[in-house]
Amino acid sequence: MASADNRGVVYRGAGKVAVEDIAFPELALGNRKCEHGVILKVLTTNICGSDQHMVRGRTTAPEGLVLGHEITGEVIECGRDVEFVKQGDVVSVPFNVACGRCRNCRRGDTHICLNVNPARPGGAYGYVDMGGWVGGQAEYVMVPYADFQLLVFPDREQAMEKILDLTMLTDIFPTGFHGCLTAGVQPGSTVYIAGAGPVGLAAAASARLLGAACVIVGDMKPQRLEQARSFGCEPLDLRQDASMPELIESILGVPEVDAAVDAVGFEANCHGHNHAHEQPATVLNAAMEITQAGGRVGIPGLYVTEDPGASSEDAKHGNLSMKFGLGWAKAMSFHTGQTPAMRYQRQLMQAVLHGRVEIGKAVNATPISLEQAPKGYADFDSGVAKKFVIDPHGILNT
C-alpha cells in the first residue's frame, strides 16, 4: 500500500499528551521486512489505566512514545507470509506482542514472550520498556505475527454491532478475568475487588460471570462505586475510618472473603481519613488481612521496577513494605504479572456475542474522537467512571 497520512496520541512528558502526525506503518521490523505482519485501520483503541501511569510521569517512558495497547481494527494489508488472516477481517489485537514460537509462547505464556523485547521477557504496543513497539492510539498500526496473534471476529456486521463490548477483549476484560481466575474465584465465592476503575469493574463483571455469590468492590470515588453497583456488585467506600476486616464484615457478616483481586497497582492510596496519602503496598496488605487462610490474591494491577514519582526512595525502585510474613503465616498464594490476554480472548468473545455479559456497559464504555484523546486522558485522571474508547475514523459517530 502506498504511503498515507496517519495521526496518533503521543506522550510529551509528565501530564502531557498530544495528537500529532506520525509515520504511516510499514511491514518492517527495523531494517528487515515483516512478512508475517499486517497493517490495520484502527476501528477502536482504548485509554488504559496503565497508559495513565506513564502520562502522570510515574514511569521512565520516553517523550515521543506513541501510546496505546488496546487495539481493534480492520486488516488493510497483509505480509507475504500471512496465510489465515485476510484483508477486510475485523480483528482484536491482544495487548501482548508475542511471536508464537518461543518456549513461553508455546506453553501459552504470551505475556512473557522471549523474542519481542531485548530488555526483558514480554512486549506490548506503545508501552515503556516493552520492546519499543509503536502504539495503536492512532489511525493505522502494524501488528506482527498476525496469524498467531489476531483474533478474527466471525461476522463483521455482528462485530460492529457489539464493538463497544468487543473492544474490551484486547486487555481489560481478559485482565480482569485473569485476576479473578488466578484468585480462585468460582461459583459461590465471596470476592473483594480493590479498585473500581475499568480493570476493577472488568474484574467484577468477570467474577459474576464465574458465578461468584457476592462481589465487593472497594474504591474512594463515589461515581465509580455507583458504576459497580449498577451491575449487581456491593460497593465499599474506602474513605470510611474502619479496618478492612470490619468493612468486609459490615457486608458479609464475617471479616474475610474467599478471594481477592488487586486492580489498583502501585499508585494505591491509604483508606480511611488518610485516603489522599499514597501508600503503594496498602492494597496488597489489605488483601492479606481479609482473604481466608489458604486463599489466593490475583494481582492484575500494575507494579513497576522504576517509579520516578514515588514518595520514597524504596518505592522509586519498586521496593514495597509488604506484610509478607502475614501472607506466609496464612499460606496464601499471590499471582502477579501481565495477563496472557490471548489465553482468554476467544472464550470471552463468545460470552459477549452470545449475550452472557455486557462488558462495555459494566465499564461504561464512552466513545471519543482521536482529537479528544488529550481531554479523555485528563478526565480519566480525575477519576470519572468511564472507559474511554477512541474512535479514530468516526465509525461510532463520535
Domain membership flag for residue 317: yes
Output the pLDDT for position 361: 98
Output the pLDDT for position 3: 45
18 and 136 in one domain?
yes
368 and 229 in one domain?
no
pTM for the complete prediction? 0.95
pLDDT 10s digits, 78-96: 999 999 999 999 999 999 9
321 and 197 in one domain?
yes
147 and 240 in one domain?
no
209 and 85 in one domain?
no
87 and 221 in one domain?
no
Contact 230, 222 (CB under 8 A): no
Taking the C-alpha atoms of residue 6 and residue 141, their distance in angstroms, rounded to an integer, is 9
Taking the C-alpha atoms of residue 238 and residue 269, their distance in angstroms, rounded to an integer, is 10
328 and 183 in one domain?
yes
Domain membership flag for residue 2: no
Burial class (CB in 10 A: 0-12, 13-18, 19+), 325: exposed
Question: How many domains would you assign to the chain?
Answer: 2
238 and 191 in one domain?
yes
Output the pLDDT for position 2: 38
Contact 268, 279 (CB under 8 A): yes
Among 335, 350, 380, identify where a domain stops: 335
Taking the C-alpha atoms of residue 321 and residue 79, their distance in angstroms, rounded to an integer, is 49
Point out the residues of the chain with pLDDT beneath 70.
Answer: 1-4, 273, 275, 398
Domain membership flag for residue 56: yes
CA 367 from chain center: how many Å?
17
Domain membership flag for residue 1: no
Any idea what the CATH number is for the domain that residue 138 is in?
A: 3.90.180.10
Domain membership flag for residue 398: no
347 and 327 in one domain?
no
121 and 70 in one domain?
yes
Q: Which domain holds residue 264?
A: 172-335
344 and 328 in one domain?
no
Any idea what the CATH number is for the domain that residue 300 is in?
A: 3.40.50.720
Domain membership flag for residue 219: yes
Output the pLDDT for position 1: 41
Output the pLDDT for position 4: 57
Residue 10 corresponds to which cell in the numbers above? 503521543
186 and 311 in one domain?
yes
Taking the C-alpha atoms of residue 314 and residue 293, their distance in angstroms, rounded to an integer, is 29
